Structure 1
Amino acid sequence: MKRIRGILIAWALLVLAASGVRAHADAALLMEEPYGTFGAINPTGHAAIYLNHICAETPTQLRPCRPGEFGVVISRYHKVGGYDWLAIPLVPYLYAVDHAEDVPATADPGLEAQLRDAYRRQHLLNIIPDAEADEDARKSPKGDWTQLIGASYDRKIYGFQVETTREADARFIAEFNDNRNVSHFNLFFHNCADFSKMLLNVYYPHSIHRNFFIDLGITTPKQVARSLTKYGRRHPELGFLTFVIPQVPGTIHRSHPINGVVESLVKSKKYVVPLFVLSPPLTAGMVVAYLADGRFKAPKDSPREILPGDIENLGRAQGVAVDLAKPSVQPASESEPQLHGEPVPSAPGGITVPYFGAAQ
Structure 2
Amino acid sequence: MFEARRRKGESLLSPNSSSHLTPVASIRISFERRLAAALFSFALACLFACLICSRAYGDVGVVLDESLDTSVARITGSGHSAVYLSRICPETPVKLRLCHPGEQGSVISNYTTLGEDQPFEWNIVPLSVYLYGVEDARYRPMFGSQKIKRILEERYREKHLSPYCASESCMTSNKAEWREMVGASLSRSIYVFVAGTTVEQDLALIAQFNSLPNENHFNGVTRNCADFTRRVINTYFPGATGPEYINDFGMTSPKAIARSFTHYALRHPELRFRVLHVAQVPGTIKRSSECRNGAEQLYRSKKLLIPMLIFANYELPVFIASYALTGRFNPEHQFEKHPAVAAAEVEHQVRLAKSENDKAHVEQLEAVEGQERAEVVGTSDEWKKYRKAFDSFVEEAVREEIIPERGYLNRFFKYLDEGDTPLVDSNGALWMQLPDRGGTSQAGLSASNILASDSDSQLAYELFLARTERVLKSPKHSRETMVEFKEDWALLQYVRMKSTVSVANTAMPAAGTRSTLMPAGGILNPH
Match of 1:354 in 2: 447
CA distance in 2, matches of 1:276, 1:239: 44
Matched residue pairs, number? 318
CA shift digits 1:90-136 (9 cap, x unpaired): 0111111121111011122211111111211221122233526xxxx
Residues 197, 208 of structure 1: 8 Å contact kept: yes
* Counterpart residue number, 2:174: 142
Does 2:88 correspond to 1:54?
yes
The reply to whether residue 167 of structure 1 matches residue 167 of structure 2 is: no
Classify the secondary structure of the residue corresponding to 1:37: coil
3-state secondary structure, aligned to 2:308: helix
Matched residues in 1 for 2:375 and 2:281: separation?
20
Matched, 1:35 2:68: yes
Whether 1:88 aligns to 2:181 is no
Q: Is the 8 A contact 1:94 1:149 kept in 2?
A: yes
Distance between the aligned counterparts of 2:150 and 2:286, measured in 1? 14
Match status 1:129 vs 2:166: yes
Distance across 2 between alignment mates of 1:57 and 1:346: 20
Q: Is the 8 A contact 1:244 1:300 kept in 2?
A: no
Range 207-216 or range 293-302, more displaced: 293-302
Deviations 1:308-347 (A, max 9, x none): xxxxx99xx9999989977xxxxx999xxxxxxxxxx992
Q: Shift of the alpha carbon at 1:265?
A: 1.4
Secondary structure in 1 matching 2:247: coil
1:258-301 CA deviation, whole Å, 9 max, x = no partner?
10011111211221222122232201111111111111111257
Alignment match, 2:242 = 209
CA distance in 1, matches of 2:100, 2:238: 28
| 1:77/1:84 contact within 8 Å kept | yes
1:1-360 matches, cutoff 5 A: 21-38=54-71, 39-80=73-114, 81=116, 82-129=119-166, 131=168, 140-143=172-175, 144-299=177-332, 302=335, 347=429, 349-350=431-432, 351-354=444-447
Change beyond 3 A, Cα 1:102–1:254: same
Larger Rg, first or second structure (1 or 2): 2
Other-structure match for 1:310: none
**Which structure has greater helix proportion?**
2
Whole-angstrom distance in 2 between the partners of 1:320 and 1:69: 26
Q: Is the 8 A contact 2:93 2:160 kept in 1?
A: no
Cα 1:298/1:63, change in 2 over 3 Å: same
Amino acid at match of 1:299: E
Is contact 2:274-2:338 (8 Å) kept? no
Are the aligned partners of 1:20 and 1:67 in contact in 2 as well (CA < 8 Å)?
no
Note the C-alpha offset of 1:145: 2.1
Instruction: Please give the secondary structure, in 2, of the residue aligned with 1:36.
Output: coil
Supply the AA of the counterpart residue of 1:293: T
State the partner residue of 1:339.
Answer: none
TM-aligned CA deviation for residue 22 of structure 1: 4.0
Match of 2:6 in 1: none
Provide closer, same or farther for how the CA distance between residues 282 and 325 of structure 1 changes in structure 2, counting only shifts above 3 A.
closer
Post-superposition offset of 1:20: 7.8
Distance (Å, rounded) in 2 between the aligned partners of 1:101 and 1:325: 23
CA distance in 2, matches of 1:164, 1:305: 18
CA distance in structure 1 between the partners assigned to 2:208 and 2:260 by the alignment? 24
Residues of 1 paired with 2:428 and 2:133: CA distance? 16
1:89 maps to amino acid: P
- Does the aligned pair in 2 maintain the 1:243–1:304 contact within 8 Å? no
Whether the 8 Å CA contact 1:243–1:299 is kept in 2: the answer is no
For the 8 Å contact 2:90–2:126, the answer to whether it is kept is yes
Secondary structure of the residue aligned to 2:90 is strand
Name the CA distance, whole Å, in 2 between partners of 1:62 and 1:318: 32
Match of 2:361? none
Q: CA distance change for structure 1 residues 353 and 58 in 2, over 3 Å: closer, same or farther?
A: same
**1:168 CA drift (Å):** 0.6
Rounded Cα–Cα distance in structure 2 between residues aligned with 1:245 and 1:71: 16
AA matched with 2:158: R
Report the CA distance between 1:238 and its aligned residue: 0.9
Aligned partners of 1:74 and 1:181: how far apart in 2?
A: 12
Would the alpha carbon gap of residues 228 and 296 (structure 1) be closer, same or farther in structure 2, given more than 3 Å must change? same
Gaps of 5+ in 1: 1-9, 133-137, 307-312, 327-331, 335-344
SS of residue matched to 1:56: strand
1:299 is paired with a residue whose SS is: helix
Is the Cα–Cα contact under 8 Å of residues 75 and 86 in structure 1 kept in the other structure? yes
Say whether the 8 Å CA contact 1:117–1:140 is kept in structure 2.
no
- Cα distance in 2 for residues equivalent to 1:121 and 1:114: 11
Tell me which stretches of 4 or more aligned residues in structure 1 moved more than 4 Å.
Answer: 303-306, 317-326, 348-351, 355-358
Is residue 107–residue 251 contact of structure 1 (8 Å, CA) maintained in 2?
Answer: yes
Letter in 1 for 2:174: K
CA-atom RMSD, angstroms? 3.5
Change over 3 Å in CA distance of 1:130–1:250 after alignment to 2: farther
Contact 1:29/1:196 (CA < 8 Å) preserved in 2? Answer: yes
Q: What amino acid sits opposite 1:154 in the alignment? A: S
Q: Distance in 1 between matches of 2:300 and 2:53?
A: 46
Normalised by the length of structure 2, the TM-score is: 0.55
> Could you tell me the percent identity over the aligned residues?
33
Equivalent-residue separation in structure 2 for 1:234 and 1:319 (angstroms): 12
